Amino acid sequence: MSFRYMLRRAIDLSRAEEIIKETLEFCRQAQIHEVMWFVDCEESNHGITPLWVIEAYIPALEKAREALEADGRVFSINPWMTLLHGDRGRQTHRYYPDMGLMVGHDGTQCQACTCPADEVWRDYLCEAYRLYASTQPAVLWVEDDFRHFGHQPVEYGCFCEAHLQAFGERVGEPVTREALVQAVLAPGKPHPWRALWLDLQGEEMIEVAQMLEQAVHEVSPETRLGLMTSHPEWHAVEGRRWHRLLQALAGPYEPVCRPHYAAYQEGNAAGMLGNFSIALETIYHLPPGTRSCPELENHPHGRSSKSVRATRLHLILGSMVSTGEMTLNILDMLPNALVDEGYGAMLAATKPFLGEITEARDGATERGVRLMSNERASYYVHTSGGCDLRELLPGGSGWAWPLSAVGIPITYESAGAVIALTGQTIRAFSAADIQQILSGGVLMDLSALEVLTDMGWGEMLGVVDFETVSQIDSGYSVERIVDSQFALAGSEFLSLNGASVRARMGKMNPHPGAKIITEFVHYDENTRSLPGAILFENTLGGRVAIQPLDLSEGVGTSFFKASRPHQLATIVQWLGRGALALWVQGGPYLLARRWDKPGRTTVAVINGSIDPVDHLHLALSPPDGGVASMQACTAVHGWQPIPPEHWESREGQVRIEIPGSLSGWDSLLVALLA
């Protein structure tokens, strides 16, 4: 199956013809199918781009369309702003003195970023998109600044007078900013105003999306509208309604989405692979049939930000959450001559392998440990401090990186044999949903234990009572595995220092029927310990494993020391009653995926470490229909058979030893054929 690249490229009137020409040459070399043109972007941006600036660019954009179409390529436009990402020294009232500006929850006033409820801005935005649509682009994008949060200097908006008045009409009384924020963040059970406020925010963005769709399709009926997104948990804090918003923007066509994905710089494995779950979670919320085009961004652009090899790794990762197309933001946005730093040849060489990944994913069922997400989670979150809007973040993806980093795939899609819980997302689910979850296999941390106990499910969890303490202040610095089944010989000690970002741990009193598999040991007394991880079978017939560390905001690298991969894989296998969708072993940071379709199961492995893996081992539950043969595919060698002596079915699992070495930041596919 073919794979499509969509290049983001800035056009500048000072040398528009040269930019079009050199972009075409780069597209031919890199096998790029589509170009999404920026106008008035980054360093050259005016803030809210004046309409007369857009008008001046229309002839150049039309020339770009003609040149691309003559070369058999697709022309699209990516306006750089809607509400604007941040002030950055710009002044909107310099051009539009009547336009309403964003106001933060603390009263901070933007000078350039605008208010999404403002009618002057709405009229402006529709007219701007009509101008862009007049050039007949295939896709006209809405940037990720189409949101209420992250408009520096405003952290979270908009709490302007117009919004306060609109909200006052909903509750039937005048409302001050201070009173609204206090109610939205009221500790404990959510105040009724929170739901009304989130509803207002979600609904107003749908209104704007409907206006844009009508404005664009009046001018260019065939143009699609695409939406770039940010972190799903932050969108929950602004009351986003994913299906309604994307369908309002799409009109009569399939929705198009560019999920936030990948680190902007090279970084290490944690930075590069950690954001993968953000795209997975976003895609879970998209309407069926949505085109998913994740964005690979190297910022600031060029190899000083991200090497060609790291860019290739991000391409491969992105293809695993796309519908066979990906946007590339890898070139300088200043009006300099295009300098290819090696990306072009790499893009062309990698493209067939991305097509193989797309073929494996198309129509397949994704398998792995399931994480829970809910667009309404922030409606149900209980706050404690009542002063920071970050308290509304659900924290439901805490297990994403710990599991992924030890070679266990995660998913938000399928029911799966095992579900992993952190944070307060579970509050958004019904009692019937929770009962069903606890009737299966559940991996949870301290934060999930706290929430489910507060919701009245404590007797199903295997803990009589517990208290929460600071791991650092308590002096418990080591986790010792006391059940040999969950440790590798000679590696039973794990560090607790830095294992949890929040550094909170639970002092548990386990149920008599619970099995203690690790203990927390005090730094100055080897015999002074507390129960650590426990296993429990409840009266619903479900299995529960609790790691009493707060993982809702993530883990540190010390979490992965020693026996942690073996411990987690063995726990997941116990929770699934022997079923383990996939576990990849051989080195640190082996990201794994599994896709099942009739007659074929495909496993993808990415080596997130710079070091090579010389002994790569895979263990997975047998595919339906059995296994008659296996093949492996790399970007360099294509598909090659795996000799029968390298794989076997044993103890309810298919075990595979991959011949050869997997280089650092490289990947392969393994196909199990019936």
Top-tier CATH class for 585-673 = mainly beta
pLDDT tens digits, 222-260: 999 999 999 999 999 999 999 999 999 999 999 999 998
Residue spans per domain, the chain:
1-80+259-361, 369-577, 585-673
Structure tokens at 528: 């002074």
> What pLDDT is stored for residue 527 in this prediction?
67
Structure tokens at 224: 């699609």
Q: What is the band of 143 on the pLDDT scale with cuts at 50, 70, 90?
A: very high
pLDDT tens digits, 588-633: 999 999 999 999 999 999 999 999 999 999 999 999 889 999 999 9
One-letter amino acid at 608 equals G
d(CA 65, CA 57): 12
The Cβ of residue 559 has, within 10 Å, a number of other Cβ atoms equal to 24
Structure tokens at 623: 């595919």
- The residue-averaged pLDDT of 26-55 equals 95
pLDDT tens digits, 482-530: 999 999 888 899 999 999 999 999 999 999 999 999 999 998 776 678 9
> What pLDDT is stored for residue 655 in this prediction?
96
Q: So what's the architecture of 369-577 in CATH?
A: 3-Layer(aba) Sandwich (3.40)
Q: What is the band of 6 on the pLDDT scale with cuts at 50, 70, 90?
A: very high
Instruction: Look at residues 493, 546, 551, 503 and name the one whose alpha carbon lies nearest to residue 523.
Output: 493
pLDDT tens digits, 72-103: 999 999 999 999 999 999 999 999 999 999 99
Structure tokens at 464: 């009589």
Residues in CB range of 572: below 8 A, 6 or more apart: 369, 403, 408, 418, 441, 443, 580, 583
Instruction: Look at residues 669, 494, 487, 664 and name the one whose alpha carbon lies nearest to residue 588.
Output: 664
> What pLDDT is stored for residue 415 in this prediction?
65
d(CA 562, CA 490): 9
Q: Is the preceding omega at residue 387 within 30 degrees of 0, hence cis?
A: no
pLDDT tens digits, 549-600: 999 999 988 898 889 999 999 999 999 998 899 999 999 999 999 999 999 9
d(CA 305, CA 266): 6
- The residue-averaged pLDDT of 296-314 equals 88
d(CA 582, CA 592): 8
DSSP 613: B
Answer yes or no: pTM beyond 0.85. yes
In 560-645, where do the E strands start and end?
A: 583-585, 590-597, 600-607, 616-620, 629-634, 638-641
In 16-108, where do the E strands start and end?
A: 34-38, 74-77, 101-103
Residues in CB range of 62: below 8 A, 6 or more apart: 135
**3-state DSSP of 104-144:** ECCCCEEEEEECCCCHHHHHHHHHHHHHHHCCCCCEEEECC
Q: What is the mean pLDDT of the chain?
A: 94
| 224-228 and 139-142 strand pairing | parallel
Residue 464 has pLDDT above 80, yes or no: yes
> What pLDDT is stored for residue 414 in this prediction?
74
At residue 143, φ and ψ (nearest 5 deg) are: -70, 170
> What pLDDT is stored for residue 667 in this prediction?
96
